[in-house]
Amino acid sequence: MFNAPNAIARNVHSQVADRIGSSIVRGDIVPSEALPSEVRICEMLDVSRTVVREAIRTLTGKGLVESRAKSGTRVRPPEQWNQLDPDVLRWRLQTSDVDSNLAKLFQLRYAVEPSASAQAATCANEDDLARIRAGYDGMAAAQDDESFVVADMAFHEAIYFATHNEFYWPIAQMLKLTLRESFTIASWGDHRPRALAEHRAVLDAIVARDADGAHAATQVLLRHSADDLVRISGSGIAAVQLPPEDRLPREKILLARYQASRAVLGEALGDLSTKGPTKARTARGATAKPRKAKPGQRNRRPRRG
């Protein structure tokens, strides 16, 4: 219990809380079961009773345990834990199945993030827009996977903060901890041009103050992101049924997909144009005059219809 191969430095109650908290989340101590006595924990971790008491107070504040007279300190049911607490999230990520976490994460993102984007389109100020745009620019300029992931996380976090709704902010902070796993996996694929275009569609809708468009573009982005994770890693998230795209009229969803597809094509053509031939052909095609027919031949005209 507590997995303590080395003694913990005295007066470092956060380390004790970390050991006990991770053991609780891992299931070493089940709900309603009592923790070992203070004296026993002191012996196990080689710390003072003052440190143990401070650690228990920390875990009580996170909702993991409760202390009662004569019954000791007992583990509370997971439903009563503060699941958005950064330490609780970290312990859960460290001790539970990755596929299960990713599946639950996408369920939450699909339920919340399209609405956050719509709210950002209505409430974002110029500073907010600059932060969202900086996240996208960082993704577009990234030369390695780590830079791409960092910028991607900043993009989504900026959207949540741009809602100016304090109840969205803890979700943004929670996602900052949990998104890295899925973003890192997704960065390995060859779909980056499409992902960039879909992020650009979300950005453009927010900048245009188009709440419905931002909502629809975010739905498209999330659905494709989940598909990418399945394709790249074989993640169990495939078993999760995302909600049907019925929150908006079908034409709104189709429009968002069309805009993302156009953006993909534009990004691809822009990339090719920097290499020369495509740009040259485009310019030549716009200004070139029809070639004269050789003697004895007639100019061919394209058929109509």
Q: How confident is the model at residue 286 (pLDDT cuts 50, 70, 90)?
A: very low
| Residues above pLDDT 90, as percent of the chain | 46
pLDDT tens digits, 61-71: 999 999 988 88
CA distance 163 to 178: 20
pTM of this prediction? 0.69
The listed range with the strongest mean pLDDT (83-87, 212-216, 293-297) is 212-216
Across 87-95, average pLDDT: 88
Question: Does an H or E element contain 109, and which?
Answer: helix 98-123
* Domain assignments of the chain as residue spans, ordered by start: 13-86, 97-278
End-to-end CA distance of the chain: 79
Considering only CA atoms, give the Rg of the chain.
27
Q: How confident is the model at residue 98 (pLDDT cuts 50, 70, 90)?
A: confident
CATH class of 13-86: mainly alpha
Nearest one of 153, 101, 98 to 131, comparing CA atoms: 153
pLDDT tens digits, 188-203: 555 678 889 999 999 9
| More confident position, 287 or 139 | 139
| More confident position, 212 or 246 | 212
CATH class of 97-278: mainly alpha
Q: Are the C-beta atoms of residues 109 and 176 closer than 8 Å to each other?
A: no
CA distance 208 to 225: 24
